[in-house]
């Protein structure tokens, strides 16, 4: 398998003398693949995502994306943050525009950037609300703007840090469908952190299951063989879906129970 | 309350502005204003009435409202008369004071925001300057006045300097806090899109710190207005502070009470004005 994103032997220790948070994490991702990383709270999955994003530096090991080693954050690894992280003083359009202006400063003309911003807002169906400020729209809409901003950077890999964690179930399902559609249409490589088993099985090609910390690492990787495009209604009774779901559940709740809950 | 207003407007707009809908909207607004204003009016009547009863006797040291009116209605009705010299209406005295405050406060806003940014961004500047600021900001405004008079040898710039030195500390300190406390989320966004240097400063740090800066400016303008009256009492000339001092020297207690009332109103307006600027500049993200 040709790997597009290579996470090799990554480990991180925040303070000298304390046990490692992550230990020997090794993951190879192909171009266009959708990877879900699942694990209990505190297992370091967000830390792993931040290392790929370049926001946190690994203590040992390294990450190579498309043949180039990662040592700082950049728009080729756009992040959709858990709490959306939109700038409240800018409108939705201006939030996307800020990223586009910065990333395509020398590559696109002013008019091209205008169209590109609108195209991405349209992709997440937020064009009608583009001139509102983040304070005036719902949580789901904010997250859609976050996704539009990330996609507008034309990243090599899109990093989603529990993007739907703070949303209600209906909004979440709606956004999951949109992300699936975008992934299908653009073929973006996606790395998603989640703690929702259904979400992981529904969206991803492979599910990376993390063991509990300290020294958390990859416990198992499950390949989800479901054909795309996927339909959440049809899959609800699908035997393959149910088996995959059961396997992840068994990993999380039987073999690697949350230490906080076990105690 | 805001939502009810918006809903009413929307209801009034829907089927092509029917007159009855507009009328009901106007009625609703009048009702809201009355609801807000009536308790205030009642309180004012109560306070003035009580004051009148307590102070309306020959032995009273302070004048009753009725006496204030007979003594000083000229001041209340003609704020802009000018009989030359210091014999001017209260409006002109207030205007002279406001000019000093405007100049001193503008200077402290510019210098204060600049210094605050320096202290907020550089740890060396913090170590060097912050202890000095922390000591100097506790010096009472009027303690600076003799020093200013000695330095400038003139009343006018000394008064302005006192305003400046009074208002600058909250501006510096709040700006520094705002610049230092740019949320990690915003910094992460900036790092991902590789926004650095001047662009990072103008597009992320400044807007993020703006609400803090305006909090500092609001405290600053309040302190300026507190200090100007005291400073003017000492330096003399046209100005509301010296007007009060003059009234005291000629035992016009009624004039003093009228002047106090005006000072309070102007101070209130100044505070709201800076708050309004803050809301406009920060596009509603500042309280």
Q: Would residue B236 be called left, alpha or beta, if left means φ above 0 and alpha means ψ between -120 and 50 degrees?
A: left
Q: Is the pLDDT of residue B9 over 60?
A: no
C-beta of residue A4 within 8 angstroms of C-beta of residue A67: no
Q: Residue B187: CB partners within 8 Å, gap ≥ 6?
A: B204
User: What whole-number distance in Å separates Cα of residue B189 and Cα of residue A153?
Assistant: 12
Average pLDDT over residues B261-266: 93
Distance from CA of A129 to the nearest CA of B (A): 17
The reply to whether residue A81 touches residue B194, judged by beta carbons under 8 angstroms, is no
More reliable by pLDDT, B5 or B177: B177
Same domain, B43 and B151: no
CATH number at residue B250: 1.10.3720.10
pTM of the predicted model, to two decimals? 0.80
Name the residue in chain A with its Cα closest to that of B185: A85
Give backbone dihedrals phi and psi of A237, rounded to 5 degrees, phi first. Answer: -105, 0
Q: How far off is chain A from B114, nearest CA to CA, in Å?
A: 22
Residue B50: what pLDDT?
93
When CB atoms are compared, the residue of A90, A102, A133 closest to B194 is A102
Extract the tokens encoding A172.
């979440």
pLDDT value at residue B16: 53
**Chain B residues closer than 8 Å to A82 by CB:** none
Q: What is the DSSP letter of A134?
A: G
Asked if the peptide bond before residue A56 counts as cis, ω within 30 degrees of 0, the response is no
- CA-atom Rg of chain A in angstroms: 18
**Inside any domain, residue B8:** yes
Are B51 and B115 in a shared domain? no
In a domain, B241, yes or no: yes
Do B242 and B148 belong together in one domain? yes
Contacts of A159 (CB under 8 A, 6+ apart): A49, A52, A53, A77, A78, A79, A80, A150, A190, A191, A192
Whether residues B166 and B45 fall in one domain = no
What pLDDT was estimated at residue A35?
Answer: 95
Contact flag B188-A85 (C-beta cutoff 8 Å): yes
Is B238 found in the same domain as B128?
A: yes
Q: Is position B263 within any domain?
A: yes
Whole-number pLDDT of residue A90: 93
**Nearest CA to CA, how far is B201 from chain A (Å)?**
14
Give me the domain span that covers residue B133: 90-282
Closest chain A residue to B196 measured between Cα atoms?
A: A102
Those residues with Cβ within 8 angstroms of residue A190's Cβ, 6 or more apart along the chain or in another chain: A33, A34, A35, A157, A158, A159, A160, A179, A183
Residue ranges of chain A with per-residue pLDDT less than 50: 1, 263
* Yes or no, beta carbons of A99 and B193 under 8 Å apart: yes
Instruction: Specify whether B138 is located in the same domain as B239.
Output: yes
Residue of B184, B190, B192 to mutate for A, most A C-beta atoms under 10 A: B192
Q: Do the chains contact at B192 and A102, CB–CB below 8 Å? A: no
Q: Are residues B46 and B109 in the same domain?
A: no
Note the pLDDT of residue B11: 42
How many residue contacts between A and B have a Cβ separation below 8 Å? 57
Instruction: For an interface test with B, give the residue of A49, A74, A85, A151 to mutate (most B CBs within 10 A).
Output: A85
Closest approach of B213 to chain A, Cα-based (Å): 15
Alpha-carbon distances, residue B153 vs A212, A258, B148, B150, B160 (angstroms): 74, 75, 8, 5, 13
Do B134 and B21 lie in one domain? The reply is no
Q: How many domains does chain B have?
A: 2
Q: What residues in chain B have their Cβ under 8 A from chain A's Cβ atoms?
A: 185-186, 188-189, 191-195, 199, 203-204, 207-208, 210, 282-285
Contacting residues for B71 by C-beta, under 8 A, at least 6 apart: B63, B252, B254, B255
| pLDDT at B14 exceeding the cut of 50 | no
Q: Rounded to whole angstroms, what are the CA distances from B83 to A204, B96, B233, B257? A: 86, 16, 21, 21
Judge: B189–A75 Cβ closer than 8 Å, yes or no: no
Q: Are residues B119 and B240 in the same domain?
A: yes
**Reported confidence tier of residue B26, pLDDT bands at 50, 70, 90:** confident
Q: Is B255 among the domain residues?
A: yes
The answer as to whether B135 is a domain residue is yes
Nearest chain B residue to A96 by CA: give it: B193
Task: Return all residues near A120 (Cβ < 8 A) that are at least 6 apart.
Answer: A96, A100, A148, A149, A151, A152
Average pLDDT, chain B: 87
Inter-axis angle of helices B65-77 and B253-281, to 10 degrees?
Answer: 60
Tell me what pLDDT residue B73 has. 83
pLDDT for res B22: 83
Give the DSSP H or E segment for B184: helix B184-192
User: In the structure encoding, which two tokens stand for residue A152, read together?
Assistant: 């507008």
Q: How far is B280 from chain A (nearest CA, A)?
A: 11
Residues B41 and B165 in one domain: no
What pLDDT is stored for residue A16 in this prediction? 79
Nearest to A103 among B186, B193, B204 (CB): B193
Closest chain A residue by Cα to residue B199: A102
Would you say residue B4 has pLDDT above 60?
A: no
Residue B103 has pLDDT above 60, yes or no: yes
Say if the Cβ atoms of A55 and B195 lie within 8 Å: no
Residue B61: inside a domain, yes or no?
no
As beta bridge partners, residue A38 has: A194, A209
Q: Does residue B114 share a domain with residue B181?
A: yes
- Nearest CA distance, B263 vs chain A (angstrom): 35
Say if the Cβ atoms of A102 and B195 lie within 8 Å: yes
pLDDT band, residue B47 (cuts 50/70/90):
very high
H or E stretch at A158? strand A157-161
For residue A132, the chain B residue with the least C-alpha distance is B283
Q: CA-nearest residue of chain A to B284?
A: A89
Q: Considering only the beta carbons, identify the residue of B185, B194, B285 that sits closest to A85.
A: B185
Residues B109 and B247 in one domain: yes
Does position B12 have pLDDT exceeding 80, yes or no? no
Note whether residue B62 is domain-resident: no
CA A87 to chain CA centroid, nearest Å: 20
Candidate from A176-185, B5-14, B201-210 with smallest mean pLDDT:
B5-14
Residue of A nearest to B194 (CA): A74
Q: Tens of pLDDT along B245-261?
A: 999 999 889 999 999 99
Tell whether B179 is covered by a domain.
yes
């Amino acid at each position: 398998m040709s790997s597009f994103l290579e996470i090799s032997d990554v480990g991180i220790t925040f303070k000298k003398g304390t046990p490692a948070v992550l230990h020997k994490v090794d993951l190879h991702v192909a171009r266009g693949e959708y990877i879900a990383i699942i694990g209990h709270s505190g297992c370091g999955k967000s830390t792993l995502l931040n290392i790929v994003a370049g926001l946190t530096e690994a203590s040992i090991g390294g990450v190579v994306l498309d043949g180039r080693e990662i040592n700082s954050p950049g728009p080729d690894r756009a992040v959709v943050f858990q709490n959306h992280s939109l700038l409240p003083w800018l409108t939705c359009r201006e939030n996307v525009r800020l990223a586009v202006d910065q990333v395509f400063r020398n590559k696109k003309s002013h008019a091209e950037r205008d169209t590109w911003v609108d195209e991405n807002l349209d992709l997440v169906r937020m064009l009608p609300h583009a001139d509102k400020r983040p304070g005036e729209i719902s949580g789901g809409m904010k997250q859609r703007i976050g996704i539009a901003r990330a996609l507008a950077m034309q990243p090599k890999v899109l990093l989603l840090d529990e993007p739907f964690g703070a949303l209600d179930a209906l909004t979440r399902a709606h956004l999951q469908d949109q992300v699936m559609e975008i992934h299908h249409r653009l073929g973006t490589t996606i790395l998603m952190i989640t703690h929702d088993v259904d979400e992981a099985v529904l969206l991803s090609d492979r599910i990376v299951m993390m063991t509990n910390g300290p020294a958390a690492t990859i416990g198992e990787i499950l390949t989800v063989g479901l054909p795309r495009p996927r339909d959440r209604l049809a899959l609800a009774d699908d035997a393959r879906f149910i088996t995959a779901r059961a396997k992840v559940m068994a990993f999380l709740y039987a073999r690697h129970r949350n230490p906080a809950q076990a105690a | 309350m805001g939502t009810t207003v918006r809903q009413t407007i929307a209801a009034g707009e829907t089927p092509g502005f029917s007159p009855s809908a507009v009328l009901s909207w106007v009625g609703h607004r009048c009702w809201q204003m009355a609801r807000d204003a009536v308790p205030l009016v009642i309180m004012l009547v109560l306070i003035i009435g009580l004051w009148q009863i307590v102070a309306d006797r020959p032995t009273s040291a302070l004048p009753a409202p009725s006496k204030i009116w007979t003594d000083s209605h000229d001041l209340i009705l003609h704020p802009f008369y000018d009989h030359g010299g210091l014999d001017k209406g209260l409006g002109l005295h207030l205007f002279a004071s406001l000019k000093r405050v405007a100049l001193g406060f503008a200077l402290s806003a510019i210098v204060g925001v600049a210094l605050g940014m320096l202290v907020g961004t550089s740890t060396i500047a913090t170590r060097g300057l912050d202890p000095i600021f922390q000591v100097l900001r506790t010096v009472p405004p009027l303690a600076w006045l003799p020093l200013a008079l000695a330095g400038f040898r003139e009343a006018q710039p000394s008064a302005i300097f006192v305003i400046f030195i009074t208002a600058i500390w909250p501006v510096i300190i709040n700006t520094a806090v705002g610049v230092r406390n740019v949320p990690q989320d915003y910094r992460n966004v900036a790092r991902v899109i590789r926004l650095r240097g001047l662009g990072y400063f103008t597009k992320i740090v400044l807007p993020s710190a703006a609400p803090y800066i305006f909090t500092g400016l609001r405290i600053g303008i309040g302190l300026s207005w507190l200090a100007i009256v005291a400073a003017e009492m000492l330096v003399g000339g046209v100005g509301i502070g010296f007007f009060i001092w003059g009234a005291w020297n000629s035992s016009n207690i009624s004039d003093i009470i009228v002047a106090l009332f005006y000072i309070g109103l102007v101070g209130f307006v100044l505070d709201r004005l800076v708050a309004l600027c803050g809301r406009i500049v920060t596009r509603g993200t500042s309280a």
